[in-house]
Each structure stands twice: as structure tokens, then as C-alpha cells.
Chain A
Amino acid sequence: MRDYVLLYINGKRHQISGERVFQPLSDFLRYDQEMVGTKVVCAEGDCGACSALLGRAGDGTLNYQVFNTCIAYVFQLDCRHVVTVEGLKGHNGLHPVQQAMIEHFGSQCGYCTPGFVVAMAALFEKRHDLTEQAVRDGLTGNLCRCTGYQAIINATLSIKPDTVETMAERFPALPMLDAFDQHSQSSVLIEYPESIQGKTIMKRSFIPSSVQEAVLLKKQHPDAVLIAGGTDISVQMNKEKIDPQTVIILPDTPELRVLELDQENLKIGAKVRWSELEIFCKDKLPELHKILKVFASDQIKNCATMAGNIANASPIADSLPFLFVVNAEIELTGIQNKRWVEINRFFHGYKNTDIQAEEVITQIRIPLPKPEQFLKLYKVSKRRDLDISTFTAAILVEMVDDQMIKDIRIAYGGVAPVVLRLAKTEAFLKNKTFDLENMRTAGKLAREEIAPISDVRASRDYRLRLSETTLEKFFHEVSQTE
């Protein structure tokens, strides 16, 4: 057992233990290391001011991606190399993105700028040519209140990708890879006694090295919190909604990193990150890809997982309606055995799932829609990008002769404490002609099957209305009327 986290920051080795691992990296950087270039605005992953590059080992090198340091706790960052804005300057002076931002007036107040330049640098790690849309996609996770973004886009597009010194070139990977290799064999336990009001509790963070170990730990520590990407959990910790005594970090084992297509099924390991899935499903599942385009930001997708999205059990988790209509299956691994649960039976109520105390999700199996099936996914949110959904929907239809509905599955999110399959609406539409009138009538039925509330994102009325209009929209999209 190791009792520290091994973390490189801008090429410098840190062994961090005790209380210091129990804080977001952004705090560690700013207040422990006095590296104040990285800013914190929201502390919940929504502004990108705290962005840095996360280097992970893979294919014999370190691969760098942008992430939010405010929702990555130090205990999650074992065997990683983080490059902050202070580390961007290269052997030839300023990083080209820094130079371009100066020349194109990409900063005004400058508070968002460190986060932007880091996210921009990430775009050039592969040295690909960038389209304007790619620039926008890559910078979705960064808010700027001053510039209106145009200057930042101009700056990014002005850079010639082949002139960029990548992070792998800038920071020799081998010594770090060696150190990671030596370290990743051992499990980690970091503890420290925290006293609040005279009471002392032992805070613990475990990094097991296998699923089996994780499951055992879960059994030994029934109230431990399991962390995959941590994008949900860290926000709750930052906002003091939870204060777990014990955390267990789900390791990147080969089993959990599976991402493959076998005949009809897509298999996604519990530690596959959204950004990996986004690339993987681009041609295989374009509808899912479309939703992932408007899912959070690169910063989030480079860390977060589908398993986390499912286990978090939010009724507005973007993956769920889709998983509901394709009848996805969840693999749960316990101490003795594995079992598969069909997603439509997985949720028992608001934030209540079928996962047992000593189980973890290890894989998600998705039957791909068949050629004769037609799938559409919808996400409605206040802002199109980087926003939590107001309403989500998935509709899978199979037709006879292009006009008779043979089978239809409809799942809505954001309309009840759990994602719902609309059984009555589905039953009504079965064996009906696929026309506008029937879809409108179905819309009225759909309205009746749901029980939305008014909240900060939208009113009940809006959600009710969407539950109707979505079926109309679906009709127009399938029948391709403009």
C-alpha cells in the first residue's frame, strides 16, 4: 500500500499525502503551490477558468487533454501529469496560442484567458487542421463575458498546427512513464484524521488496483463513495452537499476500459470516457454522437463516464432515454458474481438504482438499432451547449411499408423523478399509420403520462408542451418535411 499520490505538475514531481489530497486540484495549485495563473470562478465545471491539461499514459507516451481542475480532486490524479497555464511557455518562448491571443485581442479582462489558452493548446496537441466549428466545439467549456468570443476564434484559427510544440515534446514523457509504471502496480490508501467540533474522523481515499479490490472495499466501507470521472461527485463535494468520509477511485483496468463493437452490441466499460465514446460512435451511432456533441464540454467529457451518468440516476441524464429505448443492459459486478440488468428495470425511483452495496457497474451493453429501425434523440436545454437538459427524449420506431408503425418505443427525461417509457402512448401508436394526426393525438396522450415540475430550468408548462411537440417534430424529421 502506498500512502501518497504521485502527480507531476509542469514536469515537476510531487508526492502528495494526507490532508492535501482531499482538495480540488485548483485549490492545491492556487493555495498550496501558489500557482495562481489557474483561476476558479464557479467551482463546478461550468466556466472553464480552471482548465489545465491532463496527461495520461497511453500508447507509450503521455496524451494530453483539457480538464477542469476545480472538479478533479487531487486523490483522483495519481500517476498523471498536469500542465497548467504556467507550464505552457515552451522552449521557444510563448506557446503559439498565447502569442495569437495577444495579437488578436483575445483577452479583455483576462480572467478567463488562462483557461482559454490551455483549452486552445489542447486543440493543437494532435496537430490537426481545425475548422471553425472544431474550434467552437473545443472551447465550449470556457466562458468569456468580455470578448464575445470572435477574437478568440480568430486567434485559434490563425495558428498553423505544425508549428506547435506539443506537450509530449515539451515535457519528456519517458521518466514520467517509468515512474507511473512503477507506481501503478500498488494500491493506494491515503488517510488523515479530521477533527470537527471536538470529534475526529478518519478520512480515507482508496485507489484499488482491480475491480475485485474495489468491490471488496465497497463492502468494507458501505458508505464509501465510488468515483469514476468525479464530475458529478466533485460538484457535490465543492458545494458541500456531501462530505464523504471514504472515497474509492475506480481504477483504469483493461476490463473497465473496454470499448468495442461485437456484431450487434456496443460494449462500453465503466471507465470509458465520454470523449472516447464520442469519437467511437461517430459513424456507428450518429444519433448518440449528435447528443454527445451537445453534452457538457470537452473538459467534462475527457473525464466523465457513461457508467457515472447512469449510476448518478438523474432523470435528466442525457444518456438515459437512449439507453431506455434500445434496451441497454448494465453489467454489475459483485464479490462473487456478475449480473446483467436491463435498464428499464434498473431504476426504482428518484436517485434509486438496482446497484447493491457491494456492486459496481463494470460495463454497459448496447444493442445497436437495426437497419429497419429509426432512432431519434432529443435534448432541450436553456442553452444549446454545456447545459443540463430541461427535457430529453428518445424515440425508436420500426415501420412497415414506410407508413405503418410496427413497433415504437418512447422514453422521456426531465418529466418525472425517473426517466419514463411512455407505455400508453406507445400502445396507442402501435399498428397505426404514421401521420401527423396520429402523432398529434399521441402527443396529447404523452402529456398525460408524465408529471413534470417547475424548477429553475423551466416551467411545468414548458415541459408538458415539449412532450407533445416532440412527437410532431419527430414526425416531420422522419418524413423529412422541412
Chain B
Amino acid sequence: MQVDTILEKDLQLGKANQVVFSETLQALAHHDRDIIAVTSDSRGSGKLVPFAAQFPEQIVEVGIAEQNLVGVAAGLASAGKKAFAVSPACFLSARALEQIKNDVAYSDNPVKLVGISAGVSYGALGTTHHSLHDFAALRAINNMTIVVPADNYETERAVRQAITFCTPLYLRFGKKPMPFLPQLYHGFTFGKGRIVKEGNDLAIIANGETVYPAWLAAQELRQKQGLQATVVSMHTIKPLDTELLEKIAANGRPILTVEEHMVHGGLGEACASHLLQKGFKNPFRMVAIPDEYTVTGSQLEIFSHYGISKEGIARTAMELMT
């Protein structure tokens, strides 16, 4: 596992977030017959095979038909079911976009949309299987909360919160085992960013699977440059934790955003837009996938190619500092 080779010895390696999603859902389904997983031939990639074996009446298979997947999930949610529509993020957020917009968000049916193998998790399978547009597409839809957990702790908490969340929700998970990030503060709440490292010289705001390389870059900056960075897991892109964002920006320090998404319409632009409108003039830089045909490679190779890595983020941070 490539992640092992770059794992800091003081962080414990966990499972893939989407594995934790399915395990948490399975644990919760023991006590809640209203939990329904809706899948589009995606129970394997969604790690829901054990769930389906244990709760055959709580899984609805619709075949490879994402529009119907979301419509059915919306109908189930309307009837009071806690419907989790699970499908690769690339298909869920593009092919079923109108169902998400109308049947889930506009009709206010509290479906939990679960985008699995998200971002560039599918690596060399290429652009058809990448979801680098989902933040942008879903941010532009009213009544949609977007949550991208960074590690197994956040994932487990997010799934538990999703159960009682009563408005439309998009959860996005990757398929790579993730290390547990430091827990400086207790608690995980949708809409509240989570600080995983504190420092006054600069801030790195990341989400999902990019929080870990952001954290590594902060260690590198401390060790090699003597710079202390704050690192935030901004797991909820919408609604954005603007209170935390303004607090971080208040001392004028440079701010770097990092995300597994195209530069357009994601975390970076959300932060930049808010800060600019509030009059902040902090030096600001976005690390994201540029607007081009994405290079072929594994997720880590793609990350590295576009500077979403310990070295790349540290390098961009130093450019911003000078």
C-alpha cells in the first residue's frame, strides 16, 4: 500500500472511508429497519455485500440505472425511509444530476447520496470514472449539504449524523485506506470545520483524502522551514464554515486550499469567494486539479503530478510565503 510508505509513524492507518461507511451503516441497521441502501450494481464497490447478506430486505438493487436509483431513493425517503443512494461519485453526480436537483433537493426528500470511489480514486481508469465536478455541480443546487470526510473517524461520525439529518445530503468517500488524523478537539458536526493542526504562520484548508497530504506538508514545513501551519479538514463544503474561515484569516496569514476536485467550483473557490467578499486580503492559493485532460496514473500519481502531495503542497506554500 503506497500510503504506508509515507505514513508518519505517529498516525495509525485505518481502512478506506467507504469501508467504514458500509460497516457503520451495517451496525446502525441492526437497530433501524428504516435504513435502506439503494445500489446501482454497486454493492461490491460500495462494500455493501455483507450489509446485503445480513439485511436483504434493507437493500434495493436497481441495476445500472443511476437516474432511477436517485428517483427511487427520493420516493423511499418521501415515504419515511432513511435512503442511502450509493453509486460511484462520477455517475451519481453527473448522470442523475437532474434527479438530484428535482427529486431530492427541490422536493426536499432527505436522501443521503453517497458518492463512492470519488475524485480520482479510480486512477488510471480515466476521466469517465473520475468525479472532479461533483462539488461544483452540487454546490450550485439549493438545499444540498455536501460532506467529504477526511478519515475513518470523520466518516463514522458523518454516517451516524446522516441517519438523523433531515435534509438532502451528499457524502463523498474514496477507496484508499486513510490514516487517523490527530484529534485536537472532540466532536464532528456537519458545517463545522475540524482543526487537525494549529500554527500561526499559514493555514492549509483541505478536505477528503487531501487532508492527509496537507497535514504531512505542514509537518515538512515545520521541520525544514520552521513554519507553523494550521491545517483544517473542511469536510463540509456546503454550508461552508465561514466562521472558522474568517477566524483563520483574521491574522492575515497566507491561506492554501487543497482538494481532490477541479479548480472550478470546489472548496478553493468557495473559500476565496467568501474571503474576498468579506474584505480579507490574505495571500491565497488553490491546489486542485487544473482544467485539463487529467494525466493517466494511480490516484497518488495523479495527486503528485498536480502537487497534491507532501512535497507539492509544501512547495506551493513556500511560493506563497515569499
The answer to whether A and B belong to the same complex is no
Chain A residues near B (Cβ < 8 Å): none
Chain B residues packing against A (C-beta within 8 Å): none
